[in-house]
Amino acid sequence: MREIFGRHTLRSGMEEETAEVGGNTIVLGSIGSAFTYRRYEGDKVASESLIVTDTKVTYVGLFPNPPIKTPKEVAKNVYIKFKSPMIIDQRSISVLYSKIPIEIGVYRQHEDEEFLIDVFSLARQRYALYGSPESGVVCRFIEAEAVTDKSTLDVRKYEEAMVRIRVNNGIDNVIKVSKIIIPVEDVVLEHKDDDVWVPGSVEMALDTAFGKDVVTVRLTNTRVKRRDKTSAKKIEETLVFLMDAGY
């Protein structure tokens, strides 16, 4: 396999193909009329599946996923704490680049449908509570730098994805932005040459309502998978998170 991310073709009678991803070894092959998928962590088999089909060719897709399934589905949002807070002028718009953690999903693909057979993460999962203990939201957590030049951002391959953040300060005060909560459930991440990014833009808008500063985080031009079933057909959708506990 030259690139890890993408669709891989399995043919009846093929020799085994392997790929190294961090400390994981992925092995694709065939046995009789079926196809095999195995993932090793060191010498231990961490996951394996037998794909049974009446065709001589099938497909397995490896894709970057939002970080919500490992070790189990606990959070639907990513909490980025900036290593250096951003000072944003009043009534201004700034564009920043940062990163979020990712997982790697393995799918058995057929026509326009796909079925998740394995998911894993190379990075240690970290969580944080946003808001009060009584009504707060548990989020996947990452402490990351924010930069204005995306070429200077260090994004770890197979572990992280770059995200573009557009901060619209609509209030009359200079603000300090030290964190952002991004909704990522079902978001389809883009990739090329195994580099990964969140498509579109994260729009962080600051305004005032009832005498209180309110921050709305909205994903624009971002694709999500259909909620009724895992599918290769995606729809355009906007995800929103209301940050009402400060910024």
- What pLDDT is stored for residue 113 in this prediction? 82
- What pLDDT is stored for residue 212 in this prediction? 79
- What pLDDT is stored for residue 233 in this prediction? 41
| pLDDT tens-place values along the chain, 247 residues long | 578 999 999 999 999 999 999 889 999 999 988 999 999 999 999 999 999 998 999 999 999 999 999 988 999 999 999 999 999 999 999 999 999 999 999 999 987 788 999 999 998 899 999 988 888 999 999 999 999 999 999 999 999 999 999 999 999 999 999 999 999 998 999 999 999 999 999 999 998 877 777 889 999 998 887 654 444 344 444 578 888 656 6
- What pLDDT is stored for residue 205 in this prediction? 94
Residue 193 gets the label, from left (phi > 0), alpha (psi -120 to 50) or beta, of left
What is this structure's pTM? 0.89
Task: Tell me how far CA of residue 55 lies from CA of 16, 35, 59, 113, in angstroms.
Answer: 18, 10, 11, 16
